[in-house]
Amino acid sequence: MSPDALAHRLRPGGPWRRLLPGTYIAVTGTPTVVQKDMAAQLYAGPGSVLTGRAALRGLGITYSAPGIVDVLVPQGRQRGSVAFVAVHRTTRMPEQVTVLGRRRYVSAARAVADTARGLTELHEIRAVVAGAVQKGRCPVSLLIHELGSGPVRGSALLRQVLAEVAEGIRSVAEADFMDLIKRGRLPMPLFNPGLYDADGALIAFPDAYWPEAGVAGEVDSREWHLSPADWQRTMRRHAQMSRHGIIVLHFTPREIRSDSAAVIAAITDAVKAGSSRPPLSVAVRRAS
pLDDT at 25 over 90: yes
CA trace torsion 23, 28, 34, 39 (10° rounding): 0
pTM value surpassing 0.85? no
CA trace torsion 98, 104, 108, 111 (10° rounding): 170
Rounded to whole angstroms, the Cα distance separating 58 from 37 reads 9
Which pLDDT band, with edges at 50, 70 and 90, does 235 fall under? confident
Rounded to whole angstroms, the Cα distance separating 280 from 228 reads 31
Q: Is residue 196 domain-shared with residue 256, that is, in the same domain?
A: yes
Q: Is residue 25 domain-shared with residue 158, that is, in the same domain?
A: yes
Region 135-152: mean pLDDT is: 87
pLDDT (0 to 100) of residue 167: 66
More confident residue, 160 or 48: 48
Handedness of CA 257, 190, 155, 185 (dihedral sign): positive
Q: Is residue 12 domain-shared with residue 142, that is, in the same domain?
A: yes
Give the range of the structural domain holding residue 213, as residue numbers without chain letter.
172-285
Q: Is residue 154 domain-shared with residue 188, that is, in the same domain?
A: no
DSSP string, 134-186: HTTSS-HHHHHHHHHHS-STT-HHHHHHHHHHHTT--SHHHHHHHHHHHHTTP
Q: Is residue 158 domain-shared with residue 194, that is, in the same domain?
A: no
Any idea which of 35-44, 125-134, 263-272 has the lowest mean pLDDT? 125-134
Q: C-alpha angle with apex 53: 47 to 59, nearest 5 degrees?
A: 70
Q: Is residue 134 domain-shared with residue 7, that is, in the same domain?
A: yes
**Rg of the chain taking only CA atoms, in angstroms:** 25
pLDDT (0 to 100) of residue 29: 85
CATH code of the domain containing 257: 3.40.960.10
What percent of the chain has a predicted confidence (pLDDT) above 70?
93
pLDDT at 224 over 50: no
Taking the alpha carbons at both ends of the chain, their separation in whole angstroms is 60
Q: Is residue 250 domain-shared with residue 230, that is, in the same domain?
A: yes
Q: Is residue 86 domain-shared with residue 190, that is, in the same domain?
A: no
pLDDT at 170 over 70: no
Any idea which of 138-152, 182-196, 203-217 has the lowest mean pLDDT? 138-152
More confident residue, 288 or 141: 141
Q: Is residue 65 domain-shared with residue 129, that is, in the same domain?
A: yes
Any idea which of 31-35, 58-62, 162-166, 189-193 has the lowest mean pLDDT? 162-166
The last residue of one of the domains, among 166, 198, 215, is 166
The last residue of one of the domains, among 166, 196, 229, is 166
Q: Is residue 46 domain-shared with residue 183, that is, in the same domain?
A: no
Rounded to whole angstroms, the Cα distance separating 236 from 218 reads 13
Number of domains in the chain: 2
Q: Is residue 145 domain-shared with residue 43, that is, in the same domain?
A: yes
pLDDT at 278 over 90: yes
Q: Is residue 11 domain-shared with residue 148, that is, in the same domain?
A: yes
The last residue of one of the domains, among 132, 166, 200, is 166
Report the chain's mean pLDDT, rounded to a whole number.
90
pLDDT at 225 over 50: no
